[in-house]
Amino acid sequence: QVQPVESGGGLVQAGGSLRLSCAASRTIISINNMSWYRQAPGKQREVVAIITPGGSTNYADSVKGRFAISRDNVKNTVYLQMNGLKPEDTAVYYCNTNPRVLLSWGRGTQVTVSS
């Protein structure tokens, strides 16, 4: 299986913004729901946001109104714009298909939010 490649994470102060990117194969991104997941230390991986091939989106309650997921099928990339970041958003962020995980998990990108 081909791994997605996540990027864009970093260290930011509370209230700041980051934009994450996920590059994956065109055949996967263009026809599947894509999600951003995150895993904080000592916690299970959770779904943060999902986008359908048609562009419909949905979000975890904890990020609604602050995060926005989008996709560019030409660039084979899924994005996550994160605004109003909070310390509890600190985690490693991954992308993959949803609900079935079809890709090997990538290395993810670390997001750290300081208070």
pLDDT digits (tens, 9 = 90+) for 60-82: 999 999 999 999 989 999 999 99
| pLDDT of 30 | 85
Express each pLDDT in 6-36 by its tens digit. Answer: 999 999 999 999 999 999 988 888 889 999 9
User: Which among 49, 61, 41 has a CA at the least distance from the CA of 22?
Assistant: 49
Strand partners, 22: 6, 78
What's residue 1's pLDDT? 58
Q: What number is the average pLDDT over the span 80-97?
A: 98
Q: Work out the percent of the chain whose per-residue pLDDT is above 70.
A: 99
C-alpha pair distances (Å), 110 with each of 32, 64, 92, 95, 114 = 24, 20, 4, 12, 13
Radius of gyration for the alpha carbons in the chain, expressed in angstroms and rounded: 13
